[in-house]
Amino acid sequence: MKKLLFFILFLICARLATPAQNRHHNLYSIAFYNVENLFDTIHDPGKNDHDFLPDGRYRWGSRKYESKLLRLAQVLSSLSRERVPQGPACIGLAEVENARVLHDLLAQPSLSHYKYIHYEGPDKRGIDCALLYDPVQFNVTSSKLIPSTPFEGDTIHLTRGFLIIEGFLADERIGVIVNHWPSRGAASPVRIHAAQQVKALKDSLLREHKRMKLVIMGDLNDDPMDESLQALGTRKYPKQVKKGELYNPWWATLEDESKGTLLYRGKWNLFDQIIISRTLLKSRRGLRYAGHEIFSRPYLFQQDGQYKGYPLRTHGGRTWLDGYSDHLPTIIYLKKK
């Protein structure tokens, strides 16, 4: 009897002594960030990276590069920490030049627990997508870069490939597709074509693993209500999502709340989206969607001048602003039932 009482007392004490962060053990986060021209200071043969060299347009030397890394580490290491102390399980990135800049980024002490996935893509400027991941939370089993096909022979406005990662998060099979669709310099059909390619990849992954929980993220260069996102098969509200369709929580964020991730001529756009499969929305057991957030903190914005209230970017014209990015990061939360 004494042993039983002692054991019960031990369990109570252990429970009381559990660190606060362990109470969040069933909450996970996934993030995306367009880091705006994360270039190193070295020329990559065959790439048009000349603006970001010490003698280039932006006089991109080691001081500016190292400051950029510090700025990005400040943001990335802060994502979701208020709700998920361990930080995101994975973070999709757009506009990284190569593996070297990712190595230098993860050399920052606050990001040293992350690893990265990157494949050199075909972009003429050299900017690619990548994924940072915490191996304690996300066990990666495979990754690949699927090249995009041009729209009607347009080789100028290409998607930077589709980075596909599969693995296990909270012991459940997860698929992630990281994208960066063609810019607004291209007409809408070019991005619709990109969306159709992603839809085909999504359908293929879900045919192979019917219960896979899928996350599609990226800088899509279109707003959630635009035609390309409709071609992808996204819906605005959870109750609208049918089998094979996707939920886009950012649609209501922009259209109903007037919140976005980048400002253009005084108007908010929301190009940086994280879209989820119905399996993450309707799941009765396991990982399930539990909310989303635009990561918006005062230090990420210009505080004065003509562009007060805009995201504080690296350059304004040729002037070095020593900022972060012209985009804000986005986050989704997943809860383990």
CATH number at residue 262: 3.60.10.10
Read off the DSSP letter of residue 206. H
The two structure tokens encoding residue 231: 């071609």
Q: What is the chain's mean pLDDT, rounded? A: 92
Averaged pLDDT, 255-269: 96
Is 15 inside a domain boundary? Answer: no
Residues 6+ apart with CB under 8 A from 40: 52, 65, 97, 98, 100, 101, 104
Read off the DSSP letter of residue 69. H
Is 202 inside a domain boundary? Answer: yes
CA gap 299, 319 in Å, rounded: 19
Going by their DSSP bridges, the two strands 90-96 and 27-38 should be labelled as parallel
Unique residue bearing structure tokens 């991941």? 133
Domain with 301 in it: 26-336
Model confidence at 7: pLDDT above 60: no
CA gap 65, 203 in Å, rounded: 40
Q: How far is CA 241 from CA 233, 244, 247, 289, 334, in A?
A: 9, 8, 6, 13, 18
Contact 124, 65 (CB under 8 A): no
Is 328 inside a domain boundary? Answer: yes
Is 237 inside a domain boundary? Answer: yes
Is 276 inside a domain boundary? Answer: yes
Averaged pLDDT, 93-110: 98
Domains held by the chain: number? 1
Is 5 inside a domain boundary? Answer: no
When pLDDT is cut at 50, 70 and 90, the band that residue 33 belongs to is very high
CA 272 to centroid of chain Cα atoms: 8
What radius of gyration, in Å, describes the C-alpha atoms of the chain? 21
pTM score, two decimals?
0.92
Residues 8-28: tens digit of each pLDDT: 343 334 333 333 343 446 999
pLDDT for the residue 36 = 98
Percent of the chain having pLDDT more than 70?
93
The two structure tokens encoding residue 250: 């950012």
pLDDT for the residue 25 = 67
Is 243 inside a domain boundary? Answer: yes
For residue 196, which amino acid is it? Q
pLDDT for the residue 43 = 97
Model confidence at 4: pLDDT above 90: no
pLDDT for the residue 23 = 43
pLDDT for the residue 156 = 83
Contact 279, 211 (CB under 8 A): yes
Residues 307-325: tens digit of each pLDDT: 999 999 999 999 999 999 9
Residues 176-222: tens digit of each pLDDT: 999 999 999 999 999 999 999 999 999 999 999 999 999 999 999 99
Model confidence at 80: pLDDT above 60: yes
